[in-house]
Chains A and B, each alone.
Chain A
Amino acid sequence: MNAISTAIALLLLTAFTAGPGLAAEKPDGTARAKEILNKVDDMWRGKSSRAILTMKVQTANYTRAMSLEGWSKGKGMSLVRVTYPLKEKGTATLKTGPVIYTYLPKTDKTIRLTSGMMSGSWMGSHLTNDDLVKESRLTEDFTAVVTFEGQRDGAYAMDFSLTPKPDSAVVWGKITMTLHVEGNDYLPVTEVFYDEELKPARTIVFMDIKTFAGRRLPAVMKVTPADKPGEFTELVYQSLDFEIPLDDSFFSISQLRRD
Chain B
Amino acid sequence: MNIAMFALRNAGRNKLRSAVTVGAMGLAGGIMILYGSLMDGVMTTMIRNVVDMEVGDIQIHRKGYRDDMDFYKSAPDTEGLARKLEAQGFYASPRLFGYGLSAAGSASSGVFLKGIDVGREKMVSKLHNHLLSGSWLDSRDMKGVVIGKKLARTLGVAVGGEIVVVSQAGDGSMANDLYIVRGVLKSVSESMDRSGVIMTDAAFRELMVFPEGAHEITLKRRDQSELLAVAAGRAVAVANGLEVKTWRELRPVIARVFDLWDVSMLFMLVITYSAITLVTFNASLMSVFERIPEFGMMKALGFTPGRVLQLVFAETLTLAVAACVVALAVGLPTAYYSQVYGIDLSHVWPGGSFGGVAFDPVWRSQITLKSTVTPLFFIFVVALLSALYPGVKAALINPVAAMRLR
Residue numbers of A with Cβ under 8 A of B are 57, 59-62, 64, 85, 87-88, 91, 102, 104, 106-107, 109, 111-114, 116-117, 120-121, 123-124
Interface pairs (29), CB distance under 8 Å: A57-B172, A60-B72, A61-B172, A62-B172, A64-B172, A87-B173, A88-B173, A102-B166, A104-B164, A106-B177, A107-B176, A107-B177, A107-B178, A109-B103, A109-B164, A111-B101, A111-B108, A111-B164, A112-B103, A113-B101, A114-B109, A114-B110, A117-B110, A120-B168, A121-B168, A123-B174, A124-B168, A124-B172, A124-B173
Question: CA of A142 to CA of B129 in the docked complex: distance in angstroms?
Answer: 55
CB distance from A93 to the nearest CB of B (A): 10
Q: How far is the CA of A85 from the CA of B171 in the complex (A)?
A: 13
Distance in Å from the Cβ of A6 to the closest Cβ of chain B?
24
B89 is an interface residue with CB less than 8 A from chain A: no
Q: Are A117 and B173 in contact, CB atoms less than 8 angstroms apart?
A: no
A117 and B101: CB pair below 8 A? Answer: yes
Distance of A61 Cα from B211 Cα, bound (Å): 13
Expressed in whole angstroms, the minimum distance between the Cβ of A91 and any Cβ of chain B is 6
What is the distance, in angstroms, from A80's C-beta to the closest C-beta of chain B? 13
Number of interchain pairs (Cβ within 8 Å): 59
Q: Which residues of B contact A123 (CB under 8 A)?
A: 174
- Once the chains are docked, how many angstroms separate the CA of A109 from the CA of B172? 20
The answer to the question of B361 belonging to the interface, with a C-beta cut-off of 8 Å to chain A, is: no
Chain B min CB distance to A104 (Å): 4
In Å, the complex CA distance between A46 and B142 comes to 48
The residues of A that contact B164 with a CB separation of less than 8 Å are: 104, 107, 109, 111
Chain A residues in 8 Å Cβ range of B178:
107, 109
The residue on A at minimum CB distance from B99 is A120
Is B106 part of the binding interface, using a Cβ–Cβ cutoff of 8 Å?
A: yes
* B residues 162-195 touching A (CB-CB < 8 Å): 164, 166, 168, 170-174, 176-178
Assuming the contacts A57-B172, A124-B173, asked whether A114 and B166 have C-beta atoms less than 8 A apart, the reply is no
Chain A residues lying within 8 Å of B106, measured Cβ to Cβ, are 112
13 additional A-B pairs beyond A64-B172, A116-B110, A120-B168, beta carbons within 8 Å, are A60-B72, A61-B72, A61-B170, A62-B172, A104-B164, A106-B177, A107-B176, A111-B164, A114-B108, A116-B101, A116-B109, A117-B101, A124-B173
* Nearest-neighbor residue (CB-CB) of B165 within chain A: A107
| B177 contacts A62, C-beta separation under 8 Å | no
Residue of B nearest to A57 (CB): B172
Per the bound structure, the CA–CA distance linking A187 and B246 in Å amounts to 58
By beta carbon, the residue of chain B nearest A64 is: B172
Query: 7 closest A-B pairs (Cβ-Cβ)?
Result: A124-B172, A116-B110, A111-B103, A62-B172, A104-B176, A109-B164, A64-B172
Chain A nearest CB from B27 CB (Å) reads 52
**How many angstroms between the C-alpha atoms of A59 and B171 in the bound complex?**
10
Complex Cα gap A85–B109 (Å): 28
Encode contact with A along B127-171: 1 for CB under 8 Å, 0 otherwise: 000000000000000000000000000000000000010101011
In the docked arrangement, what's the CA distance between A180 and B167, Å?
A: 40
Determine the chain A residues whose CB is within 8 A of the CB of B173 once the complex forms: 64, 85, 87-88, 124
B170 contacts across to A, CB distance below 8 A: 61-62
Interface centre among A87, A111, A116 (most CB of B within 10 A): A111
CB closest residue in chain B, given A59: B172
Give, as a whole number of angstroms, the nearest-CB distance from B372 to chain A.
47
* CA distance in complex: A121, B71 (Å): 13
**Cβ of A161 to closest chain B Cβ, rounded Å:** 32
Q: Complex formed: what's the CA distance from A62 to B72 in Å?
A: 11
- Closest chain A residue, CB of each to CB of B178: A107
B314-328 to A contact mask, C-beta < 8 Å, 1/0: 000000000000000
**Residues in chain B near residue A113, CB distance under 8 A:** 101, 108
Within the complex, what minimum Cβ distance (angstroms) separates B165 from chain A? 9
Residues of B within 8 A of A116 (CB): 101, 109-110
- Asked if A124 meets B174 with Cβ closer than 8 Å, knowing A104-B166, A117-B101, the reply is yes
- Residues from chain A with a CB closer than 8 A to the CB of B177 are 106-107
- Across the two chains, which residue of chain B brings its CB closest to A91? B174
**What CA separation (Å) do A85 and B172 show in the bound complex?**
12
Identity of the chain A residue whose Cβ is nearest the Cβ of B171 in the assembled complex: A62
| Chain B residues whose CB sits within 8 angstroms of the CB of A88 once the complex forms | 173-174
Asked if B108 and A106 make an inter-chain contact with CB atoms under 8 angstroms apart, the answer reads: no
Most A CB contacts (10 A, CB to CB) among B103, B168, B172 go to B172
Contacts of A112 in B (CB 8 A): 103, 106, 108
Contacts of B166 in A (CB 8 A): 102, 104, 111
Smallest distance from the beta carbon of A97 to chain B beta carbons, Å?
A: 17
Q: Closest B residue to A116 by CB, please name it.
A: B110
Find the B residue at minimum CB distance from A106: B176
Q: How far is the CB of A200 from chain B (nearest CB, A)?
A: 20
Which chain B residue lies CB-closest to A85? B173
A64 to B170, CA, bound (A): 11
Q: B72 to nearest A CB, angstroms?
A: 5
> How far is B108's CA from A117's CA once the two chains are assembled, in angstroms?
10
Q: Which residue of B lies closest to A112 (CB)?
A: B108
- A135 CB to closest chain B CB (Å) equals 21
Q: Chain B residues with Cβ under 8 A from A106's Cβ?
A: 176-177
Residues in B with CB closer than 8 Å to A64 are: 171-173
Q: Which of A59, A60, A88, A104 has the most CB of B within 10 A?
A: A104
Chain B residue numbers with a CB within 8 Å of A102 are: 166, 174
Q: Which residues of chain A are within 8 angstroms of B108 by Cβ–Cβ distance?
A: 111-114
CA A113 – CA B107 in complex, angstroms?
10
- Report how far A143 CA is from B108 CA in the complex, Å: 37
Query: Nearest Cβ distance between residue A168 and chain B, in whole angstroms?
Result: 26
CA distance A104 to B176 in the complex (A): 7
In the complex the two chains form, what is the Cα distance from A107 to B104 in whole Å? 12
Which residues between 347 and 392 of chain B lie within 8 Å of chain A, taking CB atoms?
Answer: none
A107 to B176, CA, bound (A): 7
**A106 and B169 alpha carbons, distance in the complex (Å):** 14
A124 to B177 alpha-carbon distance, docked (Å): 17
Q: Is the CB of A114 within 8 A of B101?
A: yes
Across-interface contacts of A87 in B (CB, < 8 A): 173
Contacts of A109 in B (CB 8 A): 103, 164, 176, 178
